[in-house]
Amino acid sequence: MMILLQLLVSGIAMGFVYALTAVEYTLIWNSSGLLNFGHEKVIMLGAYIFAGTMVLNLGTGVVPGFVATVAVMAVFGVLIAFSIFIPLRQMSRLCAIMATVMMGNIINEAVRLYYGPEAMTVKGFMSGIARVGNLAVAKAYIYIIVISIVIVGLLELFMRKTKTGKAMRCVASNKTAAALMGIDVSRNMAVTVAISFAICGALGISVIPVFSVNSSMATMISLKGFAAGVVGGFGSLPGAIVGGLAIGIAENIAGMIFPSTFKDAVAFIVLIAVLLVKPSGLLGKKR
C-alpha cells in the first residue's frame, strides 16, 4: 500500500510537469495557431540560467534565483514573440514549424557554447526525503506539486480576473472577432509567449532534482507534455492539466507492473487509446 501511495505522489508530481508543458503548448497555440517545437530547449534554458548563472556564478539564493530566472525567461519570450511568432503567424505552417525548430537548435548551441557540454547539478536543491508515518516521498516531488499548483492557480486568476487575461481568452476563442473588438492581437501574443516562457523557466528549475541539467533533460518531458495536451483536448487549459495528470499517474503505476523500460511508452499508449475513443480529447470540443 505504501509503495502504491509513493507511486501516486510521484505520478501526480510528474503529471503536473507534463500538464504545465501542455499548458505552454496550449497558450501559444490559442494565441497564434502555432506550435512551439523548440519547447524542450526553452525548458532546458530555464534550468541552465538558474543553475549555471543565478546559483553557481552569481551566488543568488534559491528563491531570488528562481524569481530572476522566471523574469529573464519572460523577457526572452517577448523577444521571441516579436522575432518569430508574430511575423510568422500569417505564413505557412511549415515555415512556422521550421522556425521554432531552428529556435530550439540555436538555444541548444548557445547553451552548449556558454555553459559547456557537461551536465550540472545544484547540491542540496530540493533534496531529502519527507516522511509521514511509513510513507516516504522525495521532497522534490512535493515541491514540484506545490510549485505547479501555485502556477496553475496564478494563471487561472490572471486569465479570469485581469483585463489582459480576458483578452487572451477572447483571442483564443476567435482572433478575428477579438481584433474587430479592438484587442491588439500582436501585443496579446507577446504577453502569451512571455507567460509560456516564464512557465518553462519555472518548470526547468522544478525538474532539476529529478533530471540533471543537460541538453536532453526535457526531451521526454516535451513529448509527453504534447501527448498530455492531445489527451486532454488540444486548446483546452483544463484539458492540459487533466491529460498531464492522467499520463503521469498511469506511467508510474505501469512502472510498478511492467519493466521500467516500458514506462516511457505509456504516455503514447494512453494517447492512442484516447484518440480512438474520443478524437477531440477528454475535454476537447468537436471541430
User: Residue 172 has what pLDDT?
Assistant: 84
User: Residue 198 has what pLDDT?
Assistant: 96
**pLDDT reading at 108 higher than 60:** yes
Q: Spell out the alpha helix ranges (H) of the chain.
A: 2-32, 39-48, 62-80, 86-88, 93-115, 139-161, 163-173, 175-180, 185-206, 219-232, 237-257, 266-277
% of the chain with per-residue pLDDT over 70 = 99
Mean pLDDT (whole number) for 15-38: 89
Mean pLDDT (whole number) for 58-80: 92
**pLDDT reading at 138 higher than 60:** yes
113 within some domain: yes
pLDDT digits (tens, 9 = 90+) for 177-206: 888 888 888 899 999 999 999 999 999 999
Q: Which residue has the cell 523557466?
A: 201
The tally of domains found in the chain comes to 1
pLDDT band at 3 (very low <50, low <70, confident <90, very high): confident
User: Residue 90 has what pLDDT?
Assistant: 76
Mean pLDDT (whole number) for 174-178: 84
69 within some domain: yes
Looking at every residue in the chain, the average pLDDT score rounds to 88
Q: Which residue has the cell 530572476?
A: 68
**pLDDT reading at 97 higher than 90:** no
**Nearest partner of 206 among 64, 13, 60, judged by Cα:** 13
Mean pLDDT (whole number) for 93-118: 89
| pTM reported for the whole predicted model | 0.91
101 within some domain: yes
- Give every CB contact of residue 45 below 8 A, 6+ residues apart in sequence: 73, 76, 107, 111, 200, 201, 204
52 within some domain: yes
User: Residue 258 has what pLDDT?
Assistant: 80
**pLDDT reading at 18 higher than 70:** yes
Calculate the CA 274 to chain-centre distance.
Answer: 21
User: Residue 96 has what pLDDT?
Assistant: 82
162 within some domain: yes
Q: Which three cell numbers stand for residue 206?
A: 522544478
pLDDT: is 56 or 16 the higher one?
16
pLDDT digits (tens, 9 = 90+) for 98-107: 889 999 999 9
176 within some domain: yes
- Compute the half-sphere exposure of residue 24: CA atoms within 13 Å on the CB side of its CA: 34
12 within some domain: no
262 within some domain: no
The helix or strand, by DSSP H or E, that contains position 35, with its residue range, turns out to be none
User: Containing domain of residue 35, as a range?
Assistant: 23-217
